[in-house]
């Protein structure tokens, strides 16, 4: 709304109606913009330029969060693989033990 006030000659009353949700206000604002040779795209461009620093900060936060997420997923995958390898080893040992011959009567006293 501040950008609309700075870049156009739309009345504060009309902008207040638009902000409050008056169903007729958007068309009236568009007409006022058109009279000045402006479009919503031009207004949105001004919004972007006037808030560029904030958008860049948000972008850096998103990138940082993505990097942390990727590291977490990588750690999970590494731990899953280590667990799978350990389980395969234990299963192999169990199979090997099941095929070992047993001594009948070993440990019993005659």
pLDDT digits (tens, 9 = 90+) for 23-78: 988 888 888 888 888 888 888 888 888 889 999 999 999 999 999 999 999 999 99
The band of 1, judged by pLDDT with boundaries at 50, 70 and 90, is: low
How many helices, marked H, and strands, marked E, lie in the chain? 5, 0
Quick check: 40 and 18 in contact, CB under 8 A?
A: no
Residue 107 predicted with pLDDT over 60: no
Residue 94: partners with Cβ closer than 8 Å, 6 or more residues away: none
CA distances from 70 to 61, 63, 76 (A): 14, 11, 10
């Amino acid at each position: 709304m501040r950008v609309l006030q700075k870049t156009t000659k739309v009345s504060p009353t009309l902008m207040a109606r638009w902000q409050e949700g008056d169903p007729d206000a958007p068309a009236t604002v568009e007409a006022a913009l058109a009279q000045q040779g402006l479009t919503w795209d031009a207004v949105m461009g001004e919004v972007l330029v006037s808030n560029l620093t904030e958008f860049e900060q948000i972008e850096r936060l998103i990138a940082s969060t993505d990097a942390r997420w990727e590291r977490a997923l990588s750690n999970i995958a590494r731990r899953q693989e280590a667990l799978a390898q350990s389980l395969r080893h234990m299963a192999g040992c169990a199979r090997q033990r099941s095929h070992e011959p047993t001594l009948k009567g070993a440990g019993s006293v005659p």
